Each structure stands twice: as C-alpha cells, then as structure tokens.
Amino acid sequence: MEKVMLSVLTACLLGIILLVVGLFLGVSFYSGREKPSPFECGFDPMGSSRVPFSLRFFLLAVIFVVFDVEIVLLFPAVMVVGGSWMWITGYVALLVFLILLLGGVIHEWREGSLEWEV
C-alpha cells in the first residue's frame, strides 16, 4: 500500500514539475479581445457555452451506474472461484447472479432504454 502511494506521489511530482515548466515557458504576454475567446469557427461565441445536452447521455450514465455496482459485487468471486473450498452452492449463486444481470440487460433493451433514436 505504501508502495502504491509512493508511486502515485512520484507521478504527481513529475506531473507538477512538467506543469510548472509548461506554465513558465508558455506564459502569455499579449492578450487581446479576440485571442482568449472560445473557438467557434471564426464567429463571435453565441450565448453560453454550457449548453443543455441530450437526456440520452444521462439515462445511459444511470444504467452504467447500475451495471458497474453489480460488477463490483461480482468481483470477489474472482478470488474464490475454482478453489476447492467453493461448493456447488457458490457456483449456483454466481450463476443466478449472472443470469439476473443478463435478464437486466434484456429488460432494459425491451423497455427501450438502450435505443438511440431521438
């Protein structure tokens, strides 16, 4: 664990050094009215940039959260599956869980949450 932290901290250090170098070398001297304006193909930016987005993306993120949580619940099985201490009940439980997940996908599909038509 300490070694993981040490590696991450080393990465942070390297990143911050590079950031400082980049900020020092890339300091901007002249800044007019046009130069810092957001890029919109040569036009003046129209309205706010934080535009509303399609609800599809939000729905997809919600489905993703559900599946990701279920996958996290599935992960402990990796360490025990195939071992001699895992009885048939364990396998049956795993199988039931996986079939429920597949049933969940098919249910979402049938309900139309996975469609991408507008």
Partner 1 sequence: MIQHLISTIITYLLILLGVAFFTLLERKALGYFQIRKGPNKLGIMGIPQPLADALKLFTKEWVTPNFSNYFPFILTPTIMLILALSMWQLFPSFMLTSQMTLGMFLFLCISSLTVYTTLMAGWTSNSKYALLGAIRAMAQTISYEVTMTLIIMFYLFLTMEMDIVSVRMTNSPIWTITLFFPLSVMWLAVILAETNRAPFDFAEGESELVSGFNIEYGGAGFAFLFMAEYSNILMMSLMTSCLLTSTLIMSIPVAIIFLWARGSLPRYRYDLLMAMAWKSFLPFSLATLIALTPLLFYF
Q: Which two tokens stand for residue 62?
A: 């919600």
3-state SS string over 44-77? Answer: CCCCCCCCCCCHHHHHHHHHHHHHHHHHHHHCHH
CB-based burial, 49-62: b 16+ in 10 Å, e otherwise: eeeeeeeeeeeeee
Per CB under 8 A, does 51 bind partner 1? Answer: yes
73 binds partner 1 (CB under 8 A): no
Q: What does the block give as tokens for 96?
A: 């039931």
Per-residue interface string for the shown chain with partner 1, residues 85-114, x marking contact by CB under 8 A = ---x--x--xx--xx-xx--xx-xx----x
Binding site for partner 1 (CB under 8 A): 2-4, 6-8, 10-12, 14-16, 18-19, 21-23, 25-29, 31, 35-41, 45, 49-51, 53, 56-57, 60-61, 63-64, 67-68, 71, 74-75, 77-79, 81-83, 88, 91, 94-95, 98-99, 101-102, 105-106, 108-109, 114, 116-117
